[in-house]
Amino acid sequence: MLIVKKFGGTSVGNKERIFNVARRCIKDYQEGHDVVVVLSAMGKYTDDLITLAEDINEKPPKREMDMLFTIGEQMSVALMGMAMNKLGVPAVSLNAFQVAMHTTSAHGNARIKRIDTDRIRRELDNRKIVIVTGFQGINKYDDYTTLGRGGSDTTAVALAAALHADACEIFTDVDGVYTADPRKVPTARKLKEITYDEMLDLATLGAGVLHNRSVELAKKYGVPLVVRSSLNENEGTVVKEEVTVERMLISGVALDTDAVRIAVIGIKDKPGMAFKLFNALAVKNINVDVILQSIGRNGMKDISFTIDGKDLEDAIAVLEANRARLGYQEIHSERNIAKLSIVGAGMMSNPGVAAKMFESLFSAGVNINMISTSEIRITVLINENEGVRAMNAVHDAFDLAD
Amino acid sequence: MLIVKKFGGTSVGNKERIFNVARRCIKDYQEGHDVVVVLSAMGKYTDDLITLAEDINEKPPKREMDMLFTIGEQMSVALMGMAMNKLGVPAVSLNAFQVAMHTTSAHGNARIKRIDTDRIRRELDNRKIVIVTGFQGINKYDDYTTLGRGGSDTTAVALAAALHADACEIFTDVDGVYTADPRKVPTARKLKEITYDEMLDLATLGAGVLHNRSVELAKKYGVPLVVRSSLNENEGTVVKEEVTVERMLISGVALDTDAVRIAVIGIKDKPGMAFKLFNALAVKNINVDVILQSIGRNGMKDISFTIDGKDLEDAIAVLEANRARLGYQEIHSERNIAKLSIVGAGMMSNPGVAAKMFESLFSAGVNINMISTSEIRITVLINENEGVRAMNAVHDAFDLAD
* A48: chain B residues, CB-CB within 8 Å: none
CA angle, B214 then B215 then B218, to 5°? 85
A1 at the B interface (CB within 8 A)? no
Backbone angles phi, psi at A201, to 5 degrees: -65, -40
φ/ψ region of B185 (left if φ > 0, alpha if ψ in -120 to 50, else beta) reads beta
Test B56 with A143 for CB contact under 8 angstroms. Answer: no
Residues A124-182 pLDDT 10s: 999 999 999 999 999 999 999 999 878 999 999 999 999 999 999 999 888 888 888 88
Give pLDDT, residue A162.
97
A206 pLDDT exceeds 90? no
Mutate which of B58, B77, B79, B89 to test chain A, going by most A C-beta atoms within 10 A?
Answer: B79
A43 at the B interface (CB within 8 A)? no
The set of residues, in sequence order, having a beta carbon less than 8 Å from that of A255 and lying 6+ positions away, is: A180, A181, A184, A206, A338, A339, A340, A341, A387, A388, A390, A391
Strand order in the sheet with B136-138: B112-115, B101-103, B136-138, B144-146
Calculate how close chain B gets to A86, using CA atoms only, in Å: 6
Q: How far apart are the first and last CA of chain A?
A: 33
By CA distance, what is A95's nearest residue in B?
B67
Cα B24 to Cα A293: distance, rounded to the nearest angstrom: 59
- CB contact residues (below 8 A), chain A span 372-401, against chain B: none
Q: Determine how many CB atoms are found less than 10 A away from the CB of residue B18.
A: 24
Q: How far apart are the first and last CA of chain B?
A: 33
Give pLDDT, residue B175.
86
Test A81 with B95 for CB contact under 8 angstroms. Answer: no
Is there a contact between B75 and A50 (Cβ–Cβ < 8 Å)?
Answer: no
The pLDDT confidence band at residue A208, using thresholds 50, 70 and 90, is low
pTM of the model: 0.83
Give pLDDT, residue B205.
62
* B81: chain A residues, CB-CB within 8 Å: 61, 63-64, 67
By CA distance, what is A87's nearest residue in B?
B57
Choice between A230 and B56, residue whose per-residue pLDDT is larger: B56
A50 at the B interface (CB within 8 A)? no
Picking from B56, B82, B142, the nearest residue to A64 by CB comes out as: B82
Calculate how close chain B gets to A62, using CA atoms only, in Å: 9
Is there a contact between B239 and B195 (Cβ–Cβ < 8 Å)?
Answer: yes
B68 at the A interface (CB within 8 A)? yes
- Percentage above 70 pLDDT, chain B: 98
3-state SS track over chain B: CEEEEEECCHHHCCHHHHHHHHHHHHHHHHCCCEEEEEECCCCCHHHHHHHHHHHHCCCCCHHHHHHHHHHHHHHHHHHHHHHHHHCCCCEEEECHHHHCEEECCCCCCCCEEEECCHHHHHHHHCCCEEEEECCEEECCCCCEEECCCCHHHHHHHHHHHHCCCCEEEEEECCCCCECCCCCCCCCCCECCEEEHHHHHHHHHCCCCCCCHHHHHHHHHHCCCEEEEECCCCCCCEEEECCCCCCCCCCCEEEEECCEEEEEEEEEECCCCHHHHHHHHHHCCCCCEEEEEECCCECCEEEEEEEEEHHHHHHHHHHHHHCHHHHCCCEEEEECCEEEEEEECHHHHHCCCHHHHHHHHHHHCCCCCCEEEEECCEEEEEEEHHHHHHHHHHHHHHCCCCC
CA distances from residue A381 to A259, A322, A338 in whole angstroms, order as listed: 9, 27, 6
3-state SS track over chain A: CEEEEEECCHHHCCHHHHHHHHHHHHHHHHCCCEEEEEECCCCCHHHHHHHHHHHHCCCCCHHHHHHHHHHHHHHHHHHHHHHHHHCCCCEEEECHHHHCEEECCCCCCCCEEEECCHHHHHHHHCCCEEEEECCEEECCCCCEEECCCCHHHHHHHHHHHHCCCCEEEEEECCCCCECCCCCCCCCCCECCEEEHHHHHHHHHCCCCCCCHHHHHHHHHHCCCEEEEECCCCCCCEEEECCCCCCCCCCCEEEEECCEEEEEEEEEECCCCHHHHHHHHHHCCCCCEEEEEECCCECCEEEEEEEEEHHHHHHHHHHHHHCHHHHCCCEEEEECCEEEEEEECHHHHHCCCHHHHHHHHHHHCCCCCCEEEEECCEEEEEEEHHHHHHHHHHHHHHCCCCC
Calculate how close chain B gets to A48, using CA atoms only, in Å: 12
Give pLDDT, residue B245.
60
Mutate which of A67, A68, A123, A140 to test chain B, going by most B C-beta atoms within 10 A?
Answer: A67
Cα A84 to Cα B347: distance, rounded to the nearest angstrom: 57
B13 at the A interface (CB within 8 A)? no
Cis status, amide bond into A156, omega within 30 of 0 = no
Cα A95 to Cα B215: distance, rounded to the nearest angstrom: 33
- The per-residue pLDDT of chain A, averaged, comes to 90
Test A57 with B142 for CB contact under 8 angstroms. Answer: no
Q: By C-alpha distance, which of A26, A89, A24, A35 is closest to A230?
A: A24
Strand order in the sheet with A112-115: A112-115, A101-103, A136-138, A144-146
ipTM for the assembly = 0.81
Residues A104-123 pLDDT 10s: 999 998 999 999 999 999 99
Please list the ranges in chain B whose pLDDT falls under 50.
none
Q: For residues A30-42, give the mean pLDDT.
A: 97
Cα B216 to Cα B90: distance, rounded to the nearest angstrom: 33
Mutate which of B67, B89, B145, B146 to test chain A, going by most A C-beta atoms within 10 A?
Answer: B67
Test A71 with B75 for CB contact under 8 angstroms. Answer: yes
The set of residues, in sequence order, having a beta carbon less than 8 Å from that of A139 and lying 6+ positions away, is: A102, A103, A104, A105, A110, A145
- Strands B288-293, B252-256: pairing kind: unpaired
CA distances from residue A39 to A43, A78, B87, B105, B195 in whole angstroms, order as listed: 11, 10, 35, 26, 50
Give pLDDT, residue A310.
87
- Strands A129-133, A91-94: pairing kind: parallel
Choice between A262 and B285, residue whose per-residue pLDDT is larger: A262
B71 at the A interface (CB within 8 A)? yes
CA distances from residue A69 to A62, A184, B50 in whole angstroms, order as listed: 10, 33, 20
Upper half-sphere CA count for residue A70 (Cβ side, 13 Å)? 31
Give pLDDT, residue A369.
85
Residues A346-371 pLDDT 10s: 787 777 888 889 999 999 999 988 88
A233 at the B interface (CB within 8 A)? no
Cα B395 to Cα B402: distance, rounded to the nearest angstrom: 10
Give pLDDT, residue B208.
64
Q: For residues A56-69, give the mean pLDDT.
A: 96
Cα A104 to Cα A274: distance, rounded to the nearest angstrom: 32
Give pLDDT, residue B183.
84
Test B67 with A74 for CB contact under 8 angstroms. Answer: yes
The pLDDT confidence band at residue A331, using thresholds 50, 70 and 90, is very high
Give pLDDT, residue A207.
57
Is there a contact between A176 and A389 (Cβ–Cβ < 8 Å)?
Answer: no
* B74: chain A residues, CB-CB within 8 Å: 67-68, 70-71, 74
Is there a contact between B342 and B253 (Cβ–Cβ < 8 Å)?
Answer: yes
The pLDDT confidence band at residue A253, using thresholds 50, 70 and 90, is very high
Residues A14-29 pLDDT 10s: 999 999 999 999 999 9
- The CA dihedral of B330, B334, B335, B336, to the nearest 10 degrees, is 170
CA torsion sign for A71, A72, A77, A83 is positive
On the 0-12 / 13-18 / 19+ scale of CB atoms within 10 A, A260 is buried
